[in-house]
Amino acid sequence: MNKYYPFELHCHTFHSDGEMSPKTLVNASKKRGYTGIAVTDHNTVSAVDETVALGKECGLKVIRGIEWTTFFGHITALGNNTAVDWREIDMQNIDAIIEKASKAGAVLTVAHPKRHGSPMCKGCYMELPITKYQYISGFEVWSQKTPNREGYNLRAIELYDSLLCKGNRLAAVYGYDWHREKADYSYAYTFIGDKDEPERAIKSGDTFVSAGLGLDVKVDGQSLPFGSELEAGKHVFEITVVNFFEDFCSRYGVIPKGVALKGSSCAERVAALGEKLTVNCSEGYLRIEIFGDMEGASNLTLALASPYYVIDRR
């Protein structure tokens, strides 16, 4: 079984419009059980050094980040993100900007692409006409407090699927967009397949978003990291969920009911958890969703994994 680690990839401090000091953020993150976080203040990295140092003291992985908060869309840039000045970004040059940033080592994620935008949330709706998605690694399919119930996230997932259909490779990530310690709560996480180099895992697509459930996926009897390539042809999928956090399912009333396989590689399939599914995969992508009940609501997406990419070499 591949091991996955819970992260929060979109956090703000009082260095921008958040209310938390770096210390409060680190302590609150430990309390919530995160293995790591990304500090992504709006257009500044002034909180990063302090947060990284505080994280080291208590065993919390802190990813250096920034949220480029432009008039026409937001992008988080993790890792080496100094090659771009947020004020350079505009509707005309966005492809050149993401190419430059990515080549300099930044791991880029489209943030909350379908959230309500200006003037309610400044620049929150993605209008930047990105076409070179090969320079984008992650895509916030989920955002905010109750991500699997929000219409804007359903629209984000539609956009995600349309981008995957075009052959783009994008990791599914959740970004809480965490600003306040207590008023903001969330039951969702981005699970990442590498706790030491999470940026690398995001780049390779080894992630899933989840309402606290862990995932165990076997393809032809083997654990296969998300984002991996599969040969076209028949494959057997076996998908089970695990209760990642003790008492989490009872606290939030999470009841997983089944699994859905989606994507351009095969017709949509629905199965019971643990059932062996034989799927004839053609070239394209294939991704896994867990559905079920939560906090009294039924038929919600409880987990959504980054795709496998099916290659036909025949």
Applying CB under 8 A, the residues found at the interface with another protein are: 14-17, 41-47, 69, 71-72, 85-87, 114-120, 122-123, 125, 151-152, 155
Q: Which is nearer to another protein, 70 or 301 (CB)?
A: 70
Q: How far is the CB of 213 from another protein (least distance, A)?
A: 28
- Could you tell me whether strands 207-210 and 189-192 are parallel, antiparallel, or unpaired per DSSP bridges? antiparallel
Minimum CB–partner distance for residue 290 and another protein (Å): 26
Q: Does the CA dihedral 126-130-136-141 come out positive or negative?
A: positive
Q: How far is the CB of 113 from another protein (least distance, A)?
A: 11
The C-alpha atoms of residue 8 and residue 189 are separated, in whole angstroms, by: 6
- H-only helix segments in 172-247: 198-204
The distance of Cα 255 from the centroid of its chain, to the nearest Å, equals 22
Q: How far is the CB of 69 from another protein (least distance, A)?
A: 6
Q: Rounded to whole angstroms, how far apart are CA atoms 35 and 26?
A: 11
Residue 82 CB, shortest distance to another protein, in Å, is 9
User: Is the CB of 112 or the CB of 235 nearer to another protein?
Assistant: 112
Using the minimum distance from each CB to another protein, give the nearer residue, 61 or 115.
115
The minimum distance between CB 15 and another protein, in angstroms, equals: 5
Tell me the C-alpha distance between 142 and 128, whole Å. 19
**Residue 72 burial (10 A CB sphere; 0-12, 13-18, 19+):** middle
Within 13 Å and on the Cβ side, how many CA atoms surround 95?
Answer: 7
Start-end of H helices in 166-247? 198-204
* Nearer residue to another protein within complex by CB, 76 or 190: 76
Tell me the C-alpha distance between 305 and 207, whole Å: 6
Which of 26/215 has CB closer to another protein? 26
> CB-wise, 51 or 265, nearer to another protein?
51
